Amino acid sequence: MLARFIKRCTAIVLPATLLLVSTQSFAFADITGAEKDRIAKKFAAVRPELVVSDVERTDIDGMYIVNFSSKGSVYYIPKGDYFFTGDLLQIKDKRFVNAKEKRLQAPRKAALAKIDPKDMIIYPATGEKKASITVFTDVDCGYCRKLHNEITQINDLGIEVRYLAYPRAGINSPSYNKVVSAWCADDKQSALTKLKNGDPVFSPVCKDNPVAKQFILGNRLGVTGTPAIILESGEMLPGYLPADQLAKTIGL
C-alpha cells in the first residue's frame, strides 16, 4: 500500500526530477555511505521493493531527499522518521520558490550550455543584449503562438530568444513534422513564424535535424508543457508570460 502511495503521488508531482536524476549522474551533496544505508534500511524494512538510489541533503537542516530506483522520491526527516511527498516551497523575494525546481537549475544550465547555437532558432535582442532565454516550443501550442506574437517586443526589451523544439504530441507526430520543416528551412526564423501563424511551410526533411534530440532533452530537463521558458540561471518558467512581465521576472 505504501509503495503504491509513493508511486502514485510522486509520479504526478516529480516526473521532471526523476527523469533528470535517472538519466545523468550529478554531484549530490555529500552523504556518507553509512547514512545512505541506514536510511535505505528504514524504508526497505517496511517495503523491500522501495530501493533507495540516492539520498541528498536539502537546504533545511535535518531534512533529506530520498530518491527511489523504481520511481518516486520523498522528503525525509530522520528525527522521528517522518517523510512526505509533494513540493517544498520557499518564500523568497516576494515569490514562492519551488525547492525541487531550484535544485534542477544547475544541471539544466549545464545541459543547455552544451547545445550548439546552430541547432537553435534564435531571435536576437534589438541593440544591446541584456538577457537571453531558451524556450522549448511547439508550433501548434496556442500560448507558444501568443508568446511568439510578442517576439519583437521581447527583442526590443533587450532579450534574446533561443528556441528549441518540443512537439508535445511526440516524435513523428504531425506537430513534429511541422517543427522539422522549420528547423530544415533555409530561413528558419521566417519558417517558424509562418508555422506559428498557422501557415504551411514546405521544406524537405534534412538529415540529422535536432528536433528529436531536443524533444528528448526537454523531457530530461523537466519540460512537461509549452512554452517552457528557461532563464540563464537554469530556472524554468512554465507557461506564457507577457513581454513586460517576462522582463520584470528576469530583472530588467
Residue 46 is predicted with a pLDDT of 93
Instruction: List the Cα angle 170/166/195 in 5-degree steps.
Output: 100
Summarize the confidence of residues 18-37 as an average pLDDT: 54
Q: For residues 240 and 220, what is the distance between their CA atoms, to the nearest angstrom? A: 21
Listed in order, the ranges of the chain carrying CATH 3.40.30.10 are 106-250
Q: Among 17-26, 119-128, 184-193, name the one with the lowest average pLDDT.
A: 17-26
Q: Which amino acid is at 165?
A: A
The cell numbers describing 134, all together, are 531558451
CB contact at 8 A, 151 and 195: no
- Which of the four pLDDT bands, split at 50, 70 and 90, describes residue 43? very high
Q: Which residues contact 14 (CB under 8 A, 6 or more apart)?
A: 72, 73, 85, 100
Instruction: List the Cα angle 91/244/139 in 5-degree steps.
Output: 100
CB contact at 8 A, 98 and 91: no
pTM for the model = 0.70
Q: 146-187, pLDDT tens digit by residue?
A: 999 999 999 999 999 999 999 999 999 999 999 999 999 999
Summarize the confidence of residues 117-122 as an average pLDDT: 97
Please tell me the number of Cα atoms within 13 Å of 102 on its side-chain side: 13
Active site (catalytic) residues:
138, 141, 144, 168
The cell numbers describing 149, all together, are 506574437
pLDDT at 19 over 70: no
CATH topology for 106-250 is Glutaredoxin (3.40.30)
Residue 3 is predicted with a pLDDT of 43
Residue (of 96, 102, 192, 213) closest to 147 by Cα position: 192
Query: Burial letters for 78-114: b for 16+ Cβ neighbours within 10 Å, e otherwise?
Result: eeeeebebeebeeeeeeeeeebbbbbbeebbbebbee
Q: 50-94, pLDDT tens digit by residue?
A: 899 888 888 888 899 898 876 678 899 999 999 998 888 888 877
